[in-house]
A and B are shown apart, each in its own frame.
Chain A
Amino acid sequence: MRRSPLLWAVALAVYAFLYIPLVVVVLYSFNDSRLNAEWVGFTLHWYRVLLNDGEMLEAGANSLLIAFVSATFATLLGTMSGIAMHRFKLRALPLLVITPVAMPEILLGVSLLIFFVQVLNFTLGLFSVLIAHITFCVGFVAIVVRARLAGMDESIFEASRDLGASPWQTFRLITFPLILPGVIAGALMAFTLSIDDFVITFFTAGVGVHTLPLQIYSMIKIAVTPEVNAVSTLLMTLTLGMIIVASRFAPDALKGAA
């Protein structure tokens, strides 16, 4: 049982299950056929179609903008929550911040939809999507930052106080540099969660704004064209690139994300 051939066989089958579908998508993105049925020949046609698809490019730009802005605010609020939860004995804040992380996404999506339309009388669009994304990302950042603080030796902060540092100096010179890897990891996580989100965006975007996941959803729901293969391949390459960059500059970030 320890590392028996049976264990290896099952594990390899699971790896195959994880990768074969994605490999098929990548292969078909270069396939010179309108159908995802059999290999005909190599082409870059679908990438050219993609680059001329204005709607898709706009959706991509929206996704980047939303991810950047909501990750910035979520990191700020999440870092504050993480510090507050670690430092002070608070009851309400952990519940408020962590619950959205543990609930099915659809619940946050529909409750925000009611809130925006019925109570605030908002027109759904960029702004409602931003608020929604910040709301569900704060918890993830807070968890990572708190975990970082929990693993730290309290005596460093005491030493800083004993040596005459003001609370602000202690924060600026000691606490902040120490939690920075956690903050970066949280920010990367918030960015990825936001750019990937489909469910919450689906309910809060209305007709006002289109993001990449919404665009992909409507494409595969209505008609499957190999253009989806091309956009999927590009996105996978992009995420892969981000992971490699992250593991270079912030090895902790990957561990935080895991």
Chain B
Amino acid sequence: MRDFQTSGGLLRALHPATLTRWLVSGPPTAFMLLFFLAPSLIMVLASFRFPGAFGGLAPLIGAGRAGEDTGLTLENYQFFFSDWLYAEIFVKSLVVALVSTLTCLVMAYPLALLIARSPKRHRDLMVLLVILPFASNFLIRVYALMILLGPQQALASAVNGLLALFGVAPVNLLFSTFAVIVGMVYVHLPFMVLPLYTNLEKHDPSLLDAAQDLGANGWQRFWRVTFPLSLPGIFSGSALVFIPVLGMFAIPDLLGGTRDILIGNLIKDQFLGTRDWPFGSMLSIMLTLVVLGLAGFAARLGRRDRNEET
């Protein structure tokens, strides 16, 4: 009887449909389990461990060298919460990400609106013009800003000339928080324009006509009709800008000053500078938690929005 069942199970496993299912979904699942899930879990484990004698991590399996602690510890987390410095860097990163996202929104919205309201035959070209700079490597775009914001350029002279009129000492545009935010906006702007445009393009123009007939002026039509309808586009665009900005280390590295350290720089330094991998893993876990929290929050906002629509 038992034999019967097992051979039945075997037959089912060898059934063409089941076999196809395994053949198609098996290899990618195995690859991602090995190279995405396993490393992520090991990073979680690493955040509860001690650094190795020569930097990095104490060996995971077997006993370490003499004097190496191979147990588990909460020390990394305690250290994070015991020093205000780290929380401050997290808060600063969130502020930079927020300011960059809002700046992107303010710049992208009029552009997306204009594209959506242009004649159909022009729209593809206008969208392409937004994506085109985005096709060049982001380091090149950052480098372009380094030149433009540099102290010998016309922009710096103009700003400092203006400041001199008010008796303010000249400032350095490059290597400042200002430059970091300009860089973040410059690199991520298309991520905001595209979802906004996709949303705005679908709006029914007759809604605006109806509002006009009912006596709404231009601003009222925008704030009471267009803007509320575009909220899903705003949310997805904001998520696409906010999350990558939060983890970015190259832009603060190249455009920021010594005090413009963000989460990404802190993590990078733990892995390649001071080589305290457990602490770096802990910081990465904290960043993951922040991102997951934000994603959950955005998903809830989006859902509420959709419920209101129906």
Contact = CB atoms under 8 A, between A and B. Distances in A.
A96 to B, nearest CB: 4
A106 B25 contact: no
B108 interface: yes
Given A213-B137, A216-B137, A107 B288 contact: yes
Nearest to B190: A18
B92 interface: no
Contacts of B17: 167
Interface in A198-252: 198-199, 203, 212-213, 216-217, 220-221, 224, 228, 232, 235-236, 239-240, 243
B219 interface: yes
Interface in B86-132: 107-108, 110-111, 113-115, 117-118, 127-132
Interface stretch (B77-85, B141-149, B164-172): B141-149
Contact of B114 (A11, A198, A213, A254): A11
Contacts of A8: 114
A254 to B, nearest CB: 8
- What DSSP secondary structure best describes chain B's contact surface? helix
A190 interface: no
Interface residues of A, number: 84
Contact of B56 (A15, A118, A236): A118
A137 B298 CA distance: 24
Nearest to A6: B110
22 contacts: A10-B107, A10-B111, A21-B145, A22-B140, A25-B140, A38-B152, A92-B29, A99-B36, A113-B271, A114-B57, A114-B281, A115-B35, A118-B59, A118-B60, A135-B32, A198-B139, A203-B272, A216-B137, A220-B139, A220-B142, A220-B254, A235-B136
Interface of A: 1-4, 6-8, 10-11, 14-15, 17-22, 24-25, 28, 35-38, 77-78, 80-81, 83-84, 87-88, 90, 92-93, 96-97, 99-100, 102-108, 110-115, 117-119, 131-132, 134-135, 138, 142, 167, 192, 196, 198-199, 203, 212-213, 216-217, 220-221, 224, 228, 232, 235-236, 239-240, 243, 254, 257-258
Given A36-B150, A198-B139, 11 more contacts: A2-B117, A14-B110, A18-B130, A21-B147, A28-B147, A84-B24, A114-B57, A192-B135, A203-B272, A221-B253, A232-B143
Q: What are the 10 closest A-B residue pairs judged by CB atoms, nearest first?
A: A104-B247, A21-B144, A84-B25, A115-B39, A1-B218, A96-B32, A10-B110, A111-B39, A37-B152, A81-B28
